[in-house]
Amino acid sequence: MGGLAVIARQLGCQVSGSDQNVYPPMSTQLEQQGIQLMEGYSAKNLDNTPDLVIIGNALSRGNPEVEEVLNKGLKYVSGPQWLAEHVLHDKWVLGVAGTHGKTTTTSMLSWILEHQGFKPGFLIGGIPLNFGISARLGESSFFVIEADEYDSAFFDKRSKFVHYRPRTAILNNLEYDHADIFPDLAAIKKQFHHLVRTVPGEGLIISPETDTNINDVLAMGCWTPQAKTSINGHAAWNAQLIKPDGSEFDVVFENEKQGCVHWSLTGDHNVYNALSAIVAAKHVGVLPKDAISALAQFQNVKRRMEVIAKINNVTLYDDFAHHPTAIATTLDGLRKQVGDERIIAIVEPRSNTMRLGVHTETLAQSLNNADVAIIYQPENMDWDLSALKQYAQNINICHSIDEIIVLIKQEVPAGGHFVLMSNGSFGGIYARLKNEL
């Protein structure tokens, strides 16, 4: 929603918006763009009778501003529909879908096109450090978008990505997530197939060779050429790892080496993200060697294993991981990078799926690469996290931020890599922890 606000501002609109909690980095970005922010929802926020209200998918009936929009008969629309009608309708859209890696891959692809002078528009669910902003209109016919499978609005239960109609589509991976709106994996596969149905016959669909759920989706029907990726495998696009942590690898297309990626990122997930971005860029005319050169200068996204402090023998990371697979792959990449050095994972299970207790055993197992795992159980959690302890020996459950900080301070003298994992503000722990250290 913050990205949409930025794009609307660049289109020349006067923009204001409200949210329950307004916090950096998005609040800072919006204020820099001259967008008025209002904390909390109130009918009074609509006293100026806007020409159009874009309603985010987090809001539902009963919200005071939603009720005011309906009662006053104001014109309203979902974010994805507004974007499709006002921005994407005449663009070559490059859409990045999948349970994991959307933000990072969208950022990579946007940066590759920018590096080659394409000046693309983009909408990203985070702030890529190469740009310092999550969205822009762009100056070309290309638009790169994070294509989310979450629903569009309380009045439009289709996945957001159905509105985008990409010509180039990346399907990174597919797992069960968003348990608050999808009853099972089959329901998510159906939405992904709706996306596949919108990609033109002259387009391209890019996906990992070994992702069985994506392959199931494509088996439902596909009318578009496909490009497959692999790591140390046999797909047409293959990454040959030089370093096991993924920080250096050769890119091979049909058994011919295209170049070597040497960068600061780690983990197999980021190798797959990079391959997909390289293939998508080639589809619009960027040579693989040039895409590889761009990735050497890629700075990742804020809150994606972002080092936020190095104090004495402690390195503190901020990571957006919100799903057991994302936690596991992130910690696996870090473990391969740091060897036997200590890893302490501090997790806030904040996503709706995690809060519903869908991933009990897999959440515990995702922390295997951590020497110590500290998990936050807030008062309003729907299940007892102590159930995790039956699956792993390294888990500690804390019921307050103060308790977490006390526990972390006990671990600090031994040093190591402390990874804060949350897709929210984690109760303001970041600044507090830096101050304590």
The domain segmentation of the chain, as residue ranges, is 2-74, 81-295, 306-436
Q: What is the pLDDT of residue 64?
A: 98
Q: What is the pLDDT of residue 433?
A: 85
Q: What is the pLDDT of residue 92?
A: 98
Answer for the pair 172, 98: CB distance below 8 angstroms, yes or no.
yes
Q: What is the pLDDT of residue 119?
A: 98
Q: What is the pLDDT of residue 56?
A: 96
- What string of H, E and C letters represents the secondary structure of 123-148? ECCCCECCCCCCEECCCCCEEEEECC
Q: Which fold has domain 2-74?
A: Rossmann fold (3.40.50)
Backbone angles phi, psi at 190, to 5 degrees: -60, -40
**Residue 405 has which token pair?**
């900080």
> Over its length of 437 residues, how does the chain's per-residue pLDDT go in tens digits?
999 999 999 999 999 999 998 877 788 889 999 999 999 999 999 999 999 999 999 999 999 999 999 999 999 999 999 999 999 999 999 999 998 889 999 999 999 999 999 999 999 988 899 998 889 999 999 999 999 999 999 999 999 999 999 999 999 989 867 667 777 889 999 999 999 999 999 999 999 999 999 999 999 999 999 999 999 999 999 999 999 999 999 999 999 999 999 999 988 989 999 999 999 999 999 999 999 999 999 998 878 888 989 988 999 999 987 678 889 988 998 999 999 999 999 999 876 555 555 567 888 899 999 999 999 988 777 778 888 888 888 999 999 999 999 999 999 999 999 999 998 788 889 888 888 88
Q: How many angstroms from the chain centroid is the CA of residue 331? A: 17
* CATH code reported for the domain at 81-295: 3.40.1190.10
Q: What is the pLDDT of residue 178?
A: 61
- What string of H, E and C letters represents the secondary structure of the chain? CHHHHHHHHHCCCCCEEEECCCCCCHHHHHHHCCCEEEECCCHHHHCCCCCCEEECCCCCCCCHHHHHHHHHCCCEEEHHHHHHHHCHHHCEEEEEECCCCHHHHHHHHHHHHHHCCCCCEEECCCCECCCCCCEECCCCCEEEEECCCCEEECCEEEEHHHHCCCCEEEECCCCCCCCCCCCCHHHHHHHHHHHHHHCCCCCEEEEECCCHHHHHHHHCCCCCCEEEEEECCCCCEEEEECCCCCCEEEEEECCEEEEEEECCCCCHHHHHHHHHHHHHHHHCCCCHHHHHHHHCCCCCECCCCEEEEEECCEEEEEECCCCHHHHHHHHHHHHHHHCCCCEEEEECCCCHHHHCCCCHHHHHHHCCCCCEEEEECCCCCCCCHHHHHHCCCCEEEECCHHHHHHHHHHHHHHCEEEEEECCCCHHHHHHHHHHHC
Q: What is the pLDDT of residue 333?
A: 87
Return the amino acid letter for 342. R
**Residue 13 has which token pair?**
């609109």
The correct answer on CATH 1.10.1520.10 for the domain covering 306-436 is no
Q: What is the pLDDT of residue 179?
A: 61
Evaluate whether 81-295 and 306-436 have a shared fold: no
> d(Cα 59, Cα 299) in Å, to the nearest integer?
33
Give residues with Cβ within 8 angstroms of 327, minimum separation 6: 321, 345, 347, 363, 366, 367, 421
> d(Cα 370, Cα 395) in Å, to the nearest integer?
9
